A and B are shown apart, each in its own frame.
Chain A
Amino acid sequence: MTDLLSIRNLTVTFPTPRGPVDVVRGISFSLGRERLGIVGESGSGKSMTGRSILKLIRPPGRISADEMIFDGIDLIRRSERQMREIRGARISMIMQDPKFSLNPVMTIGEQIAEALTTHNSVTRRDLRNRVLEMLHAVRIHEPARVAGLYPHEVSGGMGQRVMIAMMLIPEPDLLIADEPTSALDVSVQAQVLDIIEELVAGKGMGLILISHDLNLVARYCDRILVMNGGEIVEQCAADALHRAQHPYTRGLLAAIPRMDEDREELPVLDRSAWAAA
């Protein structure tokens, strides 16, 4: 199987008053048309990794890599204009919180339509049908009514389904989901992830699911990367996660509370265990 995405030696650097800081430090990984999970705590560089695939690191941050090959195209050598043809159309990203990531003064229908018309020329009637179909596909029951609403008029769960519809309507090959459920109520998290899983599998897309939730990633992904301090510390198959070797991963696993346990206190990560390595 040829890789959909292959990254070699990716580094993301931010200048600070005390000199440049690498938030991602020379990581390499590849991805087929599969579901890859990236986990790690806050500040581990997982979101920066996701955004650098789209080359959307905000200045003064800088990306460098030996190569970043997506479907035969080396993204790192692409101009901003060429990247725009890829963004949305071929690689898309679901952002964290629909309260902030949807434009407050555009209707939901307009925002979804824009994702499609940016890359395809569609007749007005087709456009409306495609938008309504897509809303239906993310299990919104009254698509015609919802399309006319503004983001502040829908719930967080519905907002995130709108986000999914918007990012999948141009039928990209790779979807990056950056903490897609951490802003949602627990009761709707599974529903949103099920929709993502179903659509990604149905269209044979690649998925990168970025999360801090080990259980969630283990459940929805085939393979897992564990990141810490801007580096990949462990790669394993999702079902082999409990056999993970690296002390950081073991520490994270040990810190997950269980329903049937009687531990008084959850263990704290002992950072000295891998700092030496």
Chain B
Amino acid sequence: MAGRAAHGAVGLARFMLVTILTFLGLLAITFFIGRVVPIDPVLSVVGDRATQEVYDAARERMGLDRPLVVQFFSYVGNVLSGDLGQSISTGRAVTSDLARVFPATLEMATIGILIGVLLGVPMGVIAATRQGSWADQLIRVLGLLGYSVPAFWLGLVGLAVFYAGLGWVAGPGRVDFFYEGMVDTITGLYLIDSLIAGEMDIFRNALSHLVLPASILGFFSLAYIARMTRSFMLDQLAQEYVTTARVKGVPERRVVWRHAFFPIRIQLITVIGLSYASLLEGSVMIEVVFSWPGIGNYLTTALLNADMNAVLGATLVIGSVFILINKISDVLYRILDPRARQ
């Protein structure tokens, strides 16, 4: 048993090392993007009418005259201490900007992925077990729509029907203007912050704003997850061990869920992880249509204003989210698949 514990410790150490190296790689990429783009960070500070002396002094102050390697390590140091520089378009620290916009995207993406998983997985299983039935056809058509309908169009139609037409949901933005800034920011997730503050009105209002864009994201993720689940399940149902279960007289529901679905949870984790990561990247189209102050919106604005610090900061956050979700999938893999445990 001591041997197994030591083995586990070595495995954990290696896992941590790989994670750290991946993160360093991400930092290197964002750093070099910052150097390669044809935007002079000195000019954006001193303005293009500055004299050569002022320009050189600013360049020295910003450390840009030092060797690249030294610059890279000071960049890493800054990032680790939470300093991502100033944003020229908002005039605030990029870190505090990101702390404000990322939760907005996180809140929407999380509700979206929940919808995608809770509906998409059962739909995929049903489609596979009743291959060729009307339910299967319907689910396949939904999957096709999820592929082919543009997000912004669905967003506009959704707003026209459910907000302007039926009045079932609130319009663009995270809360009504009236409620803006009435709840202390704790997590940055309005649903949770308003619950903590006990402000049920604000909770209901935020939910009413969130439900439509999150459902649209959920629809895209559902279409993808259902399609993948269906094809994994069709593959599983043709396996010999599923026949073995039937030979044993196991009831059909248990055959489907315990024998066919159980093994594909492992593959589904990757699919769900990827889908969640792509939602967290911030669906620019949906965020623009719904005036959602999320990271997709922030990144686009920053790009259009050549606001490099903000672009790099947002890229770093999105990259970290990808690394994190991949690592979580890895860990779940090891827990769920007996073949990967060695």
A101 adjacent to chain B (CB < 8 Å): yes
Q: Mark A176-197, 1 if CB is under 8 A from B, else 0.
A: 0000000000000000000000
B230 adjacent to chain A (CB < 8 Å): no
B251 adjacent to chain A (CB < 8 Å): yes
Beta-carbon contacts under 8 Å, B213-257 to A: 238-241, 243-252
| Chain A positions within 8 Å of B15 at CB level | none
Shortest distance between the CB of A54 and any CB in chain B (Å): 6
Q: Which of A28-36, A87-95, A210-218, A258-266 contacts B (4 or more CB under 8 A)?
A: A87-95
Cα-based distance from A85 to B246 in the complex (angstroms): 11
Beta-carbon contact of B259 and A85 below 8 Å: no
**In the complex where A103-B263, A104-B263, A104-B338 touch, is A84 in contact with B251 (Cβ < 8 A)?**
yes
Q: Which of B241, B263, B337 contacts A101 (CB 8 A)?
A: B241
**In the complex where A100-B240, A101-B241 touch, is A152 in contact with B248 (Cβ < 8 A)?**
no
Shortest distance between the CB of B251 and any CB in chain A (Å): 7
Q: Mark A132-166, 1 if CB is under 8 A from B, else 0.
A: 00000000000000000010100000000001001
Beta-carbon contact of A88 and B263 below 8 Å: no
Q: Mark A234-253, 1 if CB is under 8 A from B, else 0.
A: 00000000000000000000
A129 adjacent to chain B (CB < 8 Å): no
| Chain A positions within 8 Å of B241 at CB level | 100-104
Shortest distance between the CB of B265 and any CB in chain A (Å): 9
B262 adjacent to chain A (CB < 8 Å): yes
**In the complex where A104-B263, A104-B339 touch, is A88 in contact with B249 (Cβ < 8 A)?**
yes
For the residues of A in contact with B, the DSSP-based class is: loop
A67 adjacent to chain B (CB < 8 Å): no
Beta-carbon contacts under 8 Å, B319-338 to A: 336-338
Beta-carbon contacts under 8 Å, A86-116 to B: 86-89, 92-93, 95-97, 100-107, 114-115
| Chain A positions within 8 Å of B244 at CB level | 95, 101-103, 163, 166
| Chain B positions within 8 Å of A86 at CB level | 249
| Chain B positions within 8 Å of A62 at CB level | none
Cα-based distance from A93 to B336 in the complex (angstroms): 29
| Chain A positions within 8 Å of B262 at CB level | 103, 105-106
Cα-based distance from A58 to B263 in the complex (angstroms): 21
Shortest distance between the CB of B256 and any CB in chain A (Å): 13
Shortest distance between the CB of A151 and any CB in chain B (Å): 9
Cα-based distance from A263 to B241 in the complex (angstroms): 43
For the residues of B in contact with A, the DSSP-based class is: helix
User: How many of chain A's residues have a CB under 8 angstroms from any CB in B?
Assistant: 31
Q: Mark A12-33, 1 if CB is under 8 A from B, else 0.
A: 0000000000000000000000
**In the complex where A100-B240, A150-B338, A152-B338 touch, is A167 in contact with B247 (Cβ < 8 A)?**
yes
| Chain B positions within 8 Å of A167 at CB level | 247-248
Beta-carbon contacts under 8 Å, B251-282 to A: 251-252, 258-259, 262-263, 266
| Chain A positions within 8 Å of B245 at CB level | 103, 114
Q: Which of B249, B263, B266, B338 contacts A118 (CB 8 A)?
A: B249
| Chain B positions within 8 Å of A93 at CB level | 247
Shortest distance between the CB of A6 and any CB in chain B (Å): 21
Beta-carbon contact of A114 and B248 below 8 Å: yes
Cα-based distance from A112 to B341 in the complex (angstroms): 22
A119 adjacent to chain B (CB < 8 Å): yes
A65 adjacent to chain B (CB < 8 Å): no
**In the complex where A100-B239, A103-B259, A103-B263 touch, is A88 in contact with B338 (Cβ < 8 A)?**
no
Beta-carbon contact of B250 and A54 below 8 Å: no
Beta-carbon contact of B248 and A118 below 8 Å: yes
A127 adjacent to chain B (CB < 8 Å): no
Q: Which of A96, A105, A107, A166 contacts B248 (CB 8 A)?
A: A166
Q: Which residues of A contact B (CB under 8 A)?
A: 54, 56, 58, 84-89, 92-93, 95-97, 100-107, 114-115, 118-119, 150, 152, 163, 166-167
Q: Which residues of B contact A (CB under 8 A)?
A: 238-241, 243-252, 258-259, 262-263, 266, 336-339
* Interface pairs A-B: 6 shortest CB-CB: A88-B249, A87-B249, A100-B240, A88-B248, A150-B338, A101-B240
5 contacts between A and B (CB under 8 A): A56-B243, A84-B249, A87-B247, A96-B240, A106-B259
Given contacts A105-B263, A106-B262, 17 further A-B contacts (CB under 8 A): A54-B247, A56-B243, A56-B246, A56-B247, A84-B252, A86-B249, A87-B246, A88-B249, A95-B244, A101-B244, A104-B263, A105-B336, A105-B338, A106-B258, A114-B250, A118-B250, A166-B248
